[in-house]
Amino acid sequence: MISDSNSRGSFNQIHKFARLFLLGCLLAAVSGCASARGGAGKADGAGTLRAGAAAEPSADPRRLVFPPLDFQLPKSERVQLKSGMVVYLLQDRELPIVNLTAYLNAGSIYDPPDKVGLATIAGATLRSGGTVQTKPDQLDRELEFMASSIESDINADHANVSLSTLTRNLDRTLALFAEVVTKPGFDPARVELAKSQAVEAIRRQNDDPKSIASRELNSAIYAGHPLGRIPTLASVQAISREDLVSFHERYFYPANTILAVSGDFDREKLLARLEALFAGWPNHAASFPQVADPSEQMSAQVLHVQKEVNQSVIRMGHLGIHKNNPDLYAIKVMDYILGGGFTSRLTQEIRSNQGLAYNVDSYFVTGRRFKGPFIAETETKSETTGRAITLLRSIIAGMAQAEVSEAELKLAKDAIINSFIFGFARSDVVVNQQARLEFYQYPAGYLENFRANIARVTREDVLRVARKYLHLDAMKLVVVGDQKKFDQPLSTYGSVQEIKLEIK
């Protein structure tokens, strides 16, 4: 069976040297796990390597010189349809497939407090519930026979509906896509199924210690804010089919939609087809619930969840930054030095020198609508829990105590600037990135200026932002583990609050 390495379920069949660090995720800017990133500057010259041009086989890799890289920031085309819907297009005829993703402003941040989970259920059932013309079973059969897929998903702050198809089935798949987006059926049986699956997910939310810790940290950082809520049995039960229909009516309209299309299509035909398919879709006035900013009142907390396991999950963090923060670039450089790769201070000390953990890292999530969190994380055996927490804290503290070395600064800047091109390695990634820049209203020139902005960061900047944005005195610490076996009581770090794992 041919498969790529990601398609084989949740069972570990391989062991990696390292978890893929968030950096890769940031640069690819495709998974929606972080902000779109990019940069500026240009290099000229020959693209491919010149074999045999440089050193002998014993060449010292530290001193190799390379031909310049030919890289221009790829551009996609932006078109606005008559309805106001924006379409980004990037043709790529290498393979006979087409990918399309719609971005809509909708999300769980708008969920009513007694119906937390509404956006998630809407995301699941928009596609699974069929359309007004096409019953769910029929939609499933027709799509799967063509090997086409349409999927929908609603996140904290955006809705996605995406399509993937062989070129020869584009026309029909696009018609079905338009049905799903404009006239979803929310079939009652499929709605009930989605709700019962959400209930089962809640029942299972305490199975994996790592997800417990991440969830509890998020809830602590965003206490009292929609970003800190999770669905409960009652809030899911309260969601009705009518809620889903109104949800769709409220948030799904052309002026609230941006499309990103890549692959093997004919530009004129595609645009004409999109105009036709979405011609009758009515616009209406925007109406988004007001969501306040998360509280800036930051305070330290120590939270413990008892689990009888031989390894403790440690997460700590606090409210961080927004994408429009002028210190964004200095923070990215600091982030890289502190917790961003094999060479980071956290990995070198906690993993490589002391052998205390397999996974250790830290990162600022760049917030797009609201401030994102700063998070530091690791897992270590119960008996070294205190040692690892103390080390994490002291290494984070070290960032604010003295300037980083010139070598650290140069490595971080070179790594970020030189790997910038990997954000543009696929046409679907490029066109989605363009769509997201507009969707989240990034400033003009964000990608164009990115590398120059990184290049400008100094050691003084890194120290300044470490002092300004890392707050050890306001750190929320979450530990999931067996406290009988800890080397130090968690009370070392403050008054401990026990979290009882209950299914509510």
Per-position x/- string for 332-351, each x denoting binding to another protein as judged by CB under 8 A, each - no binding: ---------xxx---xx--x
Sign of the four-CA dihedral 274, 279, 280, 282: positive
| Phi, then psi, of 95 in degrees rounded to 5 | -125, 150
- Sign, CA dihedral 270-271-273-274, equals positive
> Which of 33, 42, 47, 299 forms a contact with another protein (CB under 8 A)?
47
Site for another protein, residues 199 to 218, rule: CB under 8 A:
200-201, 203-204, 207-210
Question: Which of 249/414 has CB closer to another protein?
Answer: 414
Least spacing, CB of residue 32 vs another protein, in Å: 17
- Binding-residue total with another protein (CB under 8 A): 107
Place of tokens 């990601």: 6
Q: Which of residues 254-283 bind another protein (CB under 8 A)?
A: none
Pick from 252, 265, 374, 420: which binds another protein (CB under 8 A)? Answer: 420
What is residue 73's three-state secondary structure?
coil
**Site for another protein contains 147 (CB under 8 A):** yes
CA pair distance 110, 289, nearest whole angstrom: 6
Closest CA to 340 of 316, 320, 364, 305: 364
Query: In what order do the strands lie in the sheet containing 476-481?
Result: 360-364, 373-381, 311-319, 476-481, 301-306, 496-498
The 3-state secondary structure of 282-325, one letter per residue: CCCCCCCCCCCCCCCCCCCEEEEEECCCCEEEEEEEEECCECCC
**Tokens (6 digits) for 37:** 């990133």
By CB under 8 A, name the one of 15, 484, 500, 504 that touches another protein.
15
* Binding status of residue 9 toward another protein by CB under 8 A: yes
Q: Examine residue 14 and tell whether it contacts another protein (CB under 8 A).
A: yes
Cβ neighbors of 418 (< 8 A, separation 6 or more) are: none
Q: Taking CB under 8 A as the rule, does residue 305 contact another protein? A: no
Residue 281 or 422 with smaller CB distance to another protein: 422
Q: How far is CA 334 from the centre of its chain?
A: 20
Residue 398 found at the interface with another protein (CB under 8 A): no
Quick one: which segment of 226-234, 369-377, 406-414, 465-473 binds another protein (CB under 8 A)?
A: 406-414
Whether residue 190 contacts residue 128, with contact meaning beta carbons closer than 8 Å, is answered with yes
Q: Is 171 in the site for another protein (CB under 8 A)?
A: no
* 406 touches another protein by CB under 8 A: no
Residues 227-256 that bind another protein (CB under 8 A): none
Report the first-to-last Cα separation within the chain, whole angstroms. 42
CA–CA separation, 106 and 465 (whole Å)? 33
CB 159 → another protein: shortest distance, Å? 20
Query: For residues 105 and 152, which CB has a smaller minimum distance to another protein in the complex?
Result: 152
**Interface characters, 69-108, with another protein (x: CB under 8 A):** xxx--x-----------------x-xxxx-----------
Shortest distance (Å) from residue 119 CB to another protein: 19
Q: Which two tokens stand for residue 452?
A: 């120059």
Q: Say whether residue 51 binds another protein (CB under 8 A).
A: yes
Q: In the range 349-388, which residues lie near another protein by CB under 8 A?
A: 351-359, 379-381
Alpha-carbon torsion 409, 471, 293, 202, what sign?
positive
- Shortest Å, Cβ 246 to another protein: 26
Q: Could you say which DSSP state residue 347 is in?
A: I
Answer for which of 101, 235, 311, 453 binds another protein (CB under 8 A) is 311
Residue 189 beta carbon to another protein: minimum distance, rounded to whole angstroms: 9
